[in-house]
């Protein structure tokens, strides 16, 4: 009987479908990805004469922002796309995929994120008392994701 080992969370890849011709290989490398979750919003409905509880009715799904972190990359076309949206209001939504990879660099699980665009870009604080890399964070809003 073979043992099952859960996949590791440090081997992943992010690809931007609609920016493939513009961005370089370094633009695909990230330190962390967060925000791949979904919540089901509910609405409460009080029934006349029933005081013990309220009915909860499902309304819609809600997706948090996707946050991508990496070491600061100088001359990044991905960040140019981000700055165009934030500074110039030239919003060009794209589709992207987040792939969890195995030891052979093959996709174990893929999330297809639809209609994403940047809403925030952050460069972490500089501190002369610490010896660490400069990290940039890119926060994207999106409509939904599907697991492929």
User: Quick one: what percent of the chain has pLDDT higher than 70?
Assistant: 97
pLDDT at 121 over 90: yes
Predicted confidence at residue 19, as pLDDT, reads 73
What is the tally of structural domains in the chain? 1
List the one residue out of 129, 125, 95, 131 whose CA is nearest residue 110: 95
Q: Which helix (H) or strand (E) holds 146?
A: strand 144-147
Q: Is residue 48 part of a domain?
A: no
Give the tens place of pLDDT for each residue, 46-65.
Answer: 988 888 989 999 999 999 99
User: Quick one: what percent of the chain has pLDDT higher than 90?
Assistant: 68
Classified as helix, coil or strand, 121 is strand
Predicted confidence at residue 109, as pLDDT, reads 95
Give the tens place of pLDDT for each residue, 63-83.
Answer: 999 999 999 988 888 888 999
Classified as helix, coil or strand, 129 is coil
As given in the structure block, the two tokens for residue 15 are 């690809």
75: containing domain: 12-37+64-147
Q: Is residue 30 part of a domain?
A: yes
Our CA angle for 139, 127, 69, nearest 5°, is 20
CATH code, domain with 137 = 2.30.110.20
pLDDT at 17 over 90: no
pTM, whole model, 2 decimals? 0.85
Q: Is residue 4 part of a domain?
A: no
Q: Cα(22)–Cα(127) distance, rounded to whole angstroms?
A: 33
Q: Is residue 54 part of a domain?
A: no
pLDDT at 29 over 90: no
- Beta-bridge partners for 117: 141
12, 99 Cβ separation under 8 angstroms: yes
Q: Is residue 125 part of a domain?
A: yes
Predicted confidence at residue 135, as pLDDT, reads 94
The region of weakest confidence among 21-35, 81-95, 134-148 is 21-35
Q: Cα(8)–Cα(45) distance, rounded to whole angstroms?
A: 43
Q: Cα(36)–Cα(8) distance, rounded to whole angstroms?
A: 16
As given in the structure block, the two tokens for residue 32 are 């962390």
């Amino acid at each position: 009987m073979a043992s099952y080992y859960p996949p590791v969370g440090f081997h992943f890849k992010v690809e931007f479908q609609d920016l493939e011709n513009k961005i370089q290989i370094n633009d695909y490398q990230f330190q962390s990805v967060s925000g791949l979750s979904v919540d089901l919003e509910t609405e409460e409905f009080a029934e006349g004469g029933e005081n013990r509880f309220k009915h909860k009715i499902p309304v819609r799904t809600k997706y948090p922002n996707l946050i991508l972190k990496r070491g600061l990359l100088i001359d990044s076309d991905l960040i140019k796309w981000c700055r165009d949206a934030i500074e110039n209001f030239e919003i060009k939504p794209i589709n992207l995929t987040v792939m969890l990879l195995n030891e052979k660099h093959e996709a174990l699980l893929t999330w297809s994120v639809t209609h994403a665009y940047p809403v925030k870009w952050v460069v972490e604080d500089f501190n002369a008392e610490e010896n660490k890399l400069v990290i940039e964070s890119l926060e994207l809003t999106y409509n939904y994701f599907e697991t492929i």
